[in-house]
Every structure is written in C-alpha cells, then in structure tokens.
Copies of this chain bind each other. A is one copy, B any other.
C-alpha cells in the first residue's frame, strides 16, 4: 500500500506539494480550515525574481529564477490535470517617481548588469510611450521582459481541482498539533508516514523549531476595476518605487487590476488597516492616475511567512517533519521548485542541491559555527 502523506496548509505551497505527491502515487490528505485562502489568495500574482532582486540576495534570485524556468511546464501540467492557471507573459516595467526613487532603479539596473542580466534604464517619457497612462511625474524605469504573472485565485482553484482529481482528501479543520507521523485536529488524529508542514506564517505556531525562524509579515492589497469610460489597466505588470516605497499594479486577463502591497509587522492580526489602504490608493494614483476613477472591488490583508534571510525553509526538521514555508513574497514563484523538493525528500533523495540554501536548519548551523 502506498505511503500516506499529510500536508498541513492549503495555500499554493501545500496544494502544489499535495498535487505533485498524489500524482506520484502517494495517498495524500490536506488539512486546512479554508483551502485556497490565506496569503496565496491575497497575493498579486507576480512571478518576478528579477524585478524583486536586490544586492546581497543572490541566493533568493537564483532560487527564484530556477523556479521561474519551471513555471511554464508547471502551468501546462496543471492545465492537463485541471485547467489553465492564467499565466501572463506580458512582462514587467519598473518605474521610479522622484530622484531618490530613480536612484533605486539605477542601483537595481547596475546590480542586474553586474550579474550578467543587462537591462536598460529608460526615461519616464519613453516608459510612458510603452505603457500609456503612466503618470507624467515618473522619472525613469527599466523594462524586464522575462518576469511572469499568474492569476493567483485561478491557480489556487486549479490546484484544488488537480488535487481532487488525483484523489487528495481535504480535512477542513485547523491543525492543532503536528508530529513526524501524525496531525491532530479538533476532530481527531490523522496518522501519516510523512507530514508536510506548509502552513505559511502559522507554521511557527505549529513547530518549536520554527518559532524564531518564521514570522508573519502583514500585507494589504486592493483590487479594482475600470468603470465605464476609464482608461483600461496597463497591459503589463508595473512595479514602481514611490517615495522609497515599492508598489505594484498587476493586470488580470478579466480586466481586474491588483494593487499591492503594504508590508509591516503586526503579529497574526489580519485586519485591513485604514492607513495601509490610504497609502496604496495614494501611491497607485501617483503611478497610474486613471485608477482614481476605478471601482474599488476588494480590499484584503494576508500574512506572508518571512524568514530571517528572505529565503524559504524547505527540508526535514530534526524530528523528521518536512517543512516548506518562509516563502516571504515569493510563495507563488517558488511553488514549482518547492513541490519538486518535497517530492525528492519524500522519496528519500534528500534535499536537492539547488535548494541547499533553503535548508531549514541553517540558522542553527550558523550559530554553531
């Protein structure tokens, strides 16, 4: 009889791992009170390792690019097992507003050049000719053709459908306790040959080894839609730096525009803060003025799971529990590479070299050196 794998958490990481494991022949159970919600559901959907790159975070960029390369195949396979998750290859522009913002764009462009990814800094005027509707106050920008975007909610739906099609069982409850061979909920104990902990920021509450390693980092996003007579959303993903703060506008195929994201420590509080929304709306108007006339359709907050070095934690913890969390802003991007890694660990092939940097015990090892 095949091995029983119990996955805690049905965000993009848990669902991707569950789908892959079930496809590979494992019996899989997913434990989550609300499958397909959480930070993955709130997210903007950018798969953008290059525009997220920053000096000193080479390992994050490398892991992101590895995962990005697997995304088209991941999406194709998902379309076969369920349906198309809505991958967009429209590309990304990065824009800076004031002189200091333009300096940041320059630093990013220089850095990308040094590591062999040449990008050209263009004027605000040229940027506006590429993306009509951008604010005339934007000073400069860069065009990054390779970064992708995905419709995060369509993806989550597709992953759940693919899971169900492959026989994954869903337990719609919160995990209260986990161990290497069981998951405890209010209604009972779910025995398992392997437990995969993919509960995002809440993973820290479920395993003592993660208590210091992962923390919730709140983010708000706003969803809007052009009203009649409005200029449509930009045709590409727009990342902007406004007064030093990062902002993104991600267009969806159905006409929706996702604007994100705030970022601050607020424990496990998932309420939407008035000041955060004010900031998003204000900055969005400064980047793409037409949004002022858009209909505001939704405001949501979610909790990213942040690690100390912005790299995820993927691997076995000391008691044998397999962890896949700490994906910070990159959960959607890292889903393919993380799911593959979890499969490798389940098959006792150990942690693949490519994600050695995501070793979940790295903090402890560093302390021992």
Q: Which of B274, B277, B284 contacts A293 (CB 8 A)?
A: B274
Is there an interface contact between B296 and A227, defined as CB atoms closer than 8 Å? Answer: no
Counting chain B CB atoms within 10 Å of each CB, the highest count among A222, A274, A277 belongs to: A274
Chain A, residues 266-305, CB within 8 Å of chain B (1/0): the string is 0001011111011001101100000111111001000000
Please report the C-alpha to C-alpha distance between residue A217 and residue B225 in the assembled complex, in whole angstroms. Answer: 21
- A15: Cβ under 8 A from any B Cβ: no
Chain A, residues 254-275, CB within 8 Å of chain B (1/0): the string is 0000000000000001011111
Q: Which of B269, B271, B274, B293 contacts A273 (CB 8 A)?
A: B293
Please report the C-alpha to C-alpha distance between residue A341 and residue B200 in the assembled complex, in whole angstroms. Answer: 61
- A17: Cβ under 8 A from any B Cβ: no
Q: Which of B274, B293, B294 contacts A291 (CB 8 A)?
A: B274
List B contacts of A275 (CB < 8 A).
281, 285, 291-293
Please report the C-alpha to C-alpha distance between residue A187 and residue B295 in the assembled complex, in whole angstroms. Answer: 33
Within 8 A of B (CB), among A194-241: 222, 224, 227-228
Is there an interface contact between A281 and B285, defined as CB atoms closer than 8 Å? Answer: no
List B contacts of A295 (CB < 8 A).
271-274
Is there an interface contact between A285 and B278, defined as CB atoms closer than 8 Å? Answer: yes
Is there an interface contact between B278 and A282, defined as CB atoms closer than 8 Å? Answer: yes
Integer count of this chain's copies in the complex: 2
Chain A, residues 158-185, CB within 8 Å of chain B (1/0): the string is 0000000000000000000000000000
Smallest beta-carbon distance A173→chain B, Å: 27
List B contacts of A282 (CB < 8 A).
278, 282
Please report the C-alpha to C-alpha distance between residue A244 and residue B224 in the assembled complex, in whole angstroms. Answer: 28
Please report the C-alpha to C-alpha distance between residue A271 and residue B297 in the assembled complex, in whole angstroms. Answer: 8
Smallest beta-carbon distance A263→chain B, Å: 16
Q: Given A269-B227, A281-B281, A282-B282: A274 and B294 within 8 A (CB)?
A: yes
Is there an interface contact between A281 and B292, defined as CB atoms closer than 8 Å? Answer: no
List B contacts of A285 (CB < 8 A).
274-275, 278
Q: Which of B224, B273, B291 contacts A296 (CB 8 A)?
A: B273
Is there an interface contact between B292 and A227, defined as CB atoms closer than 8 Å? Answer: no
List B contacts of A291 (CB < 8 A).
274-275
Q: Given A296-B299, A299-B296, A299-B299: A227 and B273 within 8 A (CB)?
A: yes
Is there an interface contact between B284 and A281, defined as CB atoms closer than 8 Å? Answer: no
Please report the C-alpha to C-alpha distance between residue A299 and residue B274 in the assembled complex, in whole angstroms. Answer: 11
List B contacts of A284 (CB < 8 A).
274
Smallest beta-carbon distance A306→chain B, Å: 21
List B contacts of A274 (CB < 8 A).
222, 224, 281, 284-285, 291-296
Which A residues fall within an 8 A CB radius of B?
222, 224, 227-228, 269, 271-275, 277-278, 281-282, 284-285, 291-296, 299
A–B complex contacts, Cβ < 8 Å, 12 sampled = A224-B274, A227-B269, A271-B295, A273-B292, A273-B296, A274-B291, A274-B296, A275-B291, A275-B292, A277-B281, A278-B285, A282-B282
